């Protein structure tokens, strides 16, 4: 019998439009699907909310593979060791996977590919490879608008690759872990009772269809209204690869063709896919950005060690209704509306002068869509420390933001219903004072994006 091909699923948990799956089938022999719960020390593991999602997504993928006459083999441990061992165990003639670009993964995968027979990797998670879009000088872009202008002309969505009707099975299946033994679902306590998500490929396609036939037509306005269903809610499905960016691209363009949305609305949304691409290429070229400011001058910013205000922020007890509503939505559902994410993140960094890395870690643990590139670069954008970032001196007024984007208070009432009663806390910091303190702190940042300041100002106040 033809040697089997090992198909290594990672964050591409779908059967349709999956380049690695298509490549595995093209090998012509049995296909052995594998998922590894990677426990390598140099690779960032999912946070608690991400583990919740992964549990449900793997169950959906297992069922989808069973319907194709196949199985999903589960193993845990350092991925490189696990993949090598299983390839040898089953006598694989080829090992195929879709590429990831996270810190620690790229070099690991290069070494793995060099050590395996018939190893092949594909791009199943981005519209373009992170090295594909460069300036005329041959350098990665640092500013989004010219990046997207250049990238937009290179995108080729191509034709949809349907899910195969059957997957050829091996004569003997290797042993698999029991998913329940991985304990990805929370217990003692189970804090996921409010999660209103249905992970998996089928759900992803349903969410995509609902968006392009509905909210896409008013996306430019609706995306900023947290009380409305104006955003796509595709972010966790894209992160876990239950739907691919090319599938989303084709669906959006098809909606324009049939008159369900205008070109302007579609381009506004496609630019969000572009921002995702921009973030991934930034982290690919600067893999230390989870630890370091993109602009080193901000190393001189005097962040505060303030455990009590940090905890108040995490729990939605800051006394600022729009911030608290967002943080409670996050805790209850594993997701927060994007406009409110910006307001809540700005509050932590600028009102409380707490290091953006503290917020990034909290979001990593609590967001079902926690994507390393997006999470890191969006936090650096808010903090003013990143590429093409919002300036640090641009400080959101949470009250004004609520008046503009939640004018009738529906979002706040939904997530912080005790606002206006004696049960609601007083603000933990006054806005005017916080703004002055943040601007005073900024005085310690000198020398431009590449400069550094050795001495930071001393700050006082709560």
Residue 141 sits in the same domain as residue 94: no
Beta carbons within 10 angstroms of residue 59's beta carbon: 16
Q: Would residue 267 show up in a list of annotated catalytic residues for this protein?
A: no
449 pLDDT more than 50: no
Residue 272 sits in the same domain as residue 142: yes
Residue 320 sits in the same domain as residue 387: yes
Residue 58 sits in the same domain as residue 138: no
Which of the residues 97, 197, 249, 275 is marked catalytic?
275
Which pLDDT value is given to residue 246? Answer: 97
Do 461 and 433 contact (CB within 8 A), yes or no? yes
Residue 271 sits in the same domain as residue 208: yes
Q: Would residue 331 show up in a list of annotated catalytic residues for this protein?
A: no
Q: Would residue 293 show up in a list of annotated catalytic residues for this protein?
A: no
- How many domains does the chain fold into? 3
Q: Would residue 148 show up in a list of annotated catalytic residues for this protein?
A: no
Q: Would residue 263 show up in a list of annotated catalytic residues for this protein?
A: no
Do 447 and 441 contact (CB within 8 A), yes or no? no
pLDDT in tens, 213-238: 999 999 999 999 999 999 999 999 99
* Alpha carbons 423 and 90: distance in angstroms, whole number: 62
Which of the residues 81, 228, 272, 430 is marked catalytic?
272
Residue 281 sits in the same domain as residue 132: yes
Do 436 and 350 contact (CB within 8 A), yes or no? no
Q: Residue 35's beta-bridge partner residues?
A: 9, 74
For 89, 223, 362, 371, the CA distances from 144, given in Å and listed in that order, are: 46, 19, 26, 19
Residue 265 sits in the same domain as residue 310: no
460 pLDDT more than 60: no
Cβ neighbours for 223, distance < 8 A, ≥ 6 positions apart = 230, 231, 268, 338, 339
pLDDT in tens, 104-156: 999 999 999 999 999 999 999 999 999 999 999 999 999 999 999 999 999 99
The CATH number of the domain holding residue 418 is: 1.10.579.10
Residue 278 sits in the same domain as residue 322: no
Specify the pTM: 0.95
Residue 265 sits in the same domain as residue 317: no
Which of the residues 81, 267, 338, 440 is marked catalytic?
338
Whether 173 is in a domain gets the answer no
Q: Would residue 313 show up in a list of annotated catalytic residues for this protein?
A: no
Which of the residues 53, 197, 379, 381 is marked catalytic?
379
Which of the residues 52, 240, 303, 313 is marked catalytic?
303
* Alpha carbons 336 and 458: distance in angstroms, whole number: 34
Which pLDDT value is given to residue 444? Answer: 85
Residues in the chain: 462
Angle at 177 between CA 172 and CA 180, to 5 degrees: 135
Domain that holds residue 423: 296-442
Residue 104 sits in the same domain as residue 246: no
Q: Residue 353: which of 227, 432, 284, 442 has the closest Cα?
A: 442
pLDDT in tens, 372-415: 999 999 999 999 999 999 999 999 999 999 999 999 999 999 99
* Alpha carbons 264 and 267: distance in angstroms, whole number: 5
The CATH number of the domain holding residue 267 is: 1.25.40.80
Across all residues in the chain, what is the average pLDDT?
94
Whether 210 is in a domain gets the answer yes
pLDDT in tens, 293-308: 999 999 999 999 999 9
**Gyration radius of the chain's alpha carbons:** 23
Average pLDDT rounded to a whole number, residues 234-258: 98
Q: Residue 248: which of 280, 274, 226 has the closest Cα?
A: 274
pLDDT bracket for residue 1 (50, 70, 90): low
């Amino acid at each position: 019998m033809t040697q089997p091909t090992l198909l290594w699923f990672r964050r591409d948990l779908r059967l349709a439009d999956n380049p690695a799956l298509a490549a595995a089938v093209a090998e012509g022999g049995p296909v052995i699907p594998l998922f590894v719960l990677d426990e390598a020390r140099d690779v960032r593991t999912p946070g608690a909310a991400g583990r919740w999602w992964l549990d449900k997504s793997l169950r959906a993928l297992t069922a989808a593979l069973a319907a194709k006459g196949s199985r999903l083999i589960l193993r845990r441990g350092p991925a490189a060791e696990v993949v090598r061992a299983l390839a040898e165990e089953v006598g694989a003639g080829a090992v195929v996977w879709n590429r990831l670009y996270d810190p620690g993964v790229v070099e690991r995968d290069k070494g793995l590919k060099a050590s395996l027979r018939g190893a092949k990797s594909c791009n199943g998670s981005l519209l373009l490879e992170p090295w594909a879009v460069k300036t005329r000088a041959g350098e990665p872009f640092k500013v989004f608008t010219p990046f997207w202008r250049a990238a937009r002309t290179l995108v080729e969505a191509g034709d949809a690759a349907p899910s195969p009707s059957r997957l050829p099975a091996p004569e003997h299946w290797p042993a698999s872990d029991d998913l329940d033994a991985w304990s990805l679902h929370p217990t003692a306590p189970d804090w996921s009772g409010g999660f209103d998500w249905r992970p998996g490929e089928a759900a992803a396609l349903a969410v995509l269809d609902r968006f392009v036939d509905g909210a896409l037509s008013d996306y430019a306005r609706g995306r900023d209204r947290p009380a409305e269903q104006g955003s796509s809610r595709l972010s966790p499905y894209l992160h876990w690869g239950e739907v691919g960016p090319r599938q989303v691209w084709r669906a959006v363009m098809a909606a324009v063709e049939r008159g369900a949305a205008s070109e302007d609305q579609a381009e506004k949304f496609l630019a969000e896919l572009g921002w995702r691409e921009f973030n991934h290429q930034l982290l690919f070229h600067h893999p230390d950005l989870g630890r370091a400011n993109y602009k080193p001058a901000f190393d001189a910013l005097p962040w505060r060690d303030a455990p009590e205000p940090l905890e108040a922020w995490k729990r939605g007890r800051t006394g600022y209704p729009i911030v608290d509503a967002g943080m409670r939505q996050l805790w209850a559902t594993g997701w927060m509306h994007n406009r409110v994410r910006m307001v809540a993140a700005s509050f932590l960094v600028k009102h409380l002068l707490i290091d953006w890395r503290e917020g990034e870690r909290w979001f990593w643990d609590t967001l079902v869509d926690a994507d390393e590139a997006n999470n890191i670069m969006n936090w650096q954008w808010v903090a003013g420390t990143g590429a093409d970032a919002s300036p640090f001196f641009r400080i959101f007024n949470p009250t004004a933001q609520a008046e503009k984007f939640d004018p009738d208070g529906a979002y706040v009432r939904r997530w912080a219903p005790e606002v206006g009663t004696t049960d609601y806390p007083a603000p933990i910091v006054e806005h005017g004072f916080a703004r002055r303190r943040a601007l005073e702190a900024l005085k310690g940042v000198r020398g431009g994006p590449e400069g550094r300041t050795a001495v930071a100002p001393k700050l006082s106040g709560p």
